[in-house]
Amino acid sequence: MPRPPASTDAERKAYNPGMSADGVRAAYEALAQGDVEPLVSQMSDDMLWQGRKRPLRFWQPVPS
């Protein structure tokens, strides 16, 4: 069986083994209170943010 390819520096930076489920939960609880900083601080600096491909159009009926 062939060995998997070695991970790149970006992949190693993106994976944070020190992040716990409690930390993520606390970040989402802070987000619910309107504070985005704890959640954003846990994300990779290399992450690309994009909007939705098809924005929600609340005035149009849902397709069936």
Angstrom distance (rounded) from CA 61 to CA 64: 9
Report angle CA 24, 25, 30 to the nearest 5 degrees. 95
| pLDDT bracket for residue 3 (50, 70, 90) | low
Angstrom distance (rounded) from CA 26 to CA 41: 12
User: Domain extents for the chain?
Assistant: 19-44
| pLDDT bracket for residue 43 (50, 70, 90) | confident
| pLDDT bracket for residue 35 (50, 70, 90) | very high
Query: For the whole model, what pTM was predicted?
Result: 0.48
Backbone angles phi, psi at 9, to 5 degrees: -60, -40
Angstrom distance (rounded) from CA 7 to CA 20: 22
